[in-house]
Structure 1
Amino acid sequence: MHPRLLTIIICLLGLLTAGTAAQERARVELNRQIILTQRQTIIRDNLTLTEAEAAAFWPLYREYHAAIEPLGDPLVDRLLKFAQSPATLSELQAGQLLDAWLDFEEALLATRRQWVARFRAVLPASKVTRFYQLENKLDAFLRHDIAQKIPLTP
């Protein structure tokens, strides 16, 4: 496993510890910033760009992640609540958790589709494809770690 990826996963471990709602939200925001920085480094190390491509890509990349970040807020809130007391999950809460997950997945896919044309405007299709592959791999590592930490619903 890439050492930087391990750092990302370790940062996520702090998401599921007990604390007040304000502490949890602050921890999530700090982890987001750490993860974004690590993602940028991993993308930079694995996506070979010319100087001109990099000058066009990186500002667009930051805009892209600014658009993606808030999509998961409702899901993160539900997951944090669930992780604090999984045994007391009501039917209503279970439905809300599922809806939040599906809403996030739909919004994420729609946002990624919207951004493809913008990335293709500044990079060749092969590099845009590689970028999306890297994003997908990073997401898969994060999801795997989260899946290990979040218990199944009762």
Structure 2
Amino acid sequence: MKNLFLILLVFGLTASAQDDKREQIKSLKTAFITTELSLTSDEAAKFWPVYNAFDEKQFELKHQKMRALGKKLDAMDAMTDKEALALINQMEDYENELFQNRRKLVSSLKTILSPVKILKLKKAEDDFNRKLLRQYKEKGPRK
């Protein structure tokens, strides 16, 4: 699996390569989570549609809304206190949306997975992200 992570990090930074990379990472994540949770066929059939909807919403919030806020932060030295407060409020709203999306996922999963498997999911997500970040750091950013 280590080699697969390295292969993912070799792709260029063009838009299509980024989409391909995201899909490949998603495939690796799916395999990793399935293995770590020891999902049965029945559990997997019910789990993945719920999880994929959650994951897409998280991606939207993190990569679209939060990035837009990040760009505004670059201009914070020129902001008034009123503008800065409005930006803080937006950030809190988006962070709350991320939290509520996670709560919705856990609530939905309670009818699909055991509580232990729900906890294992969180650990598997964290382990996968750490592993991916470690591979990225070892390879270094592409220039």
| Interval of TM-score (by shorter of Structure 1 and Structure 2) | 0.5 to 0.7
C-alpha distance in structure 1 between counterparts of 2:26 and 2:99, whole Å: 19
- Report the residue type matching 2:17 in the other structure: R
SS in 1 for 2:11: helix
Q: Which residue of 1 aligns with 2:56?
A: 66
1:73-117 deviations in whole A, cap 9, x for unaligned?
24679xxxxxxxxxxxxx93799xxx9xxx5x9354443233111
Give the TM-score, by structure 2 length.
Answer: 0.64
C-alpha distance in structure 2 between counterparts of 1:147 and 1:94, whole Å: 29
Unaligned runs of at least 5 residues, structure 2: 78-86
How far residue 141 of structure 1 moved from its aligned partner, in angstroms, is: 2.0
Q: What's the C-alpha RMSD, in Å, of the aligned pairs?
A: 3.7
Unaligned runs of at least 5 residues, structure 1: 18-22, 78-90
Contact 2:34–2:44 (8 Å) recurs in 1: no
Give the TM-score, by structure 1 length.
Answer: 0.60
Work out the percentage of aligned pairs sharing the same amino acid.
21
User: Quick one: which of 99, 116, 127 aligns to 1:126?
Assistant: 116
Q: Does 1:55 align with 2:45?
A: yes
1:30-45 map, 5 Å: 30-45=20-35
Q: What count of residue pairs does the alignment treat as equivalent?
A: 125
C-alpha distance in structure 2 between counterparts of 1:8 and 1:109, whole Å: 28
SS in 2 for 1:59: helix
How far residue 65 of structure 1 moved from its aligned partner, in angstroms, is: 2.1
C-alpha distance in structure 2 between counterparts of 1:145 and 1:49, whole Å: 26
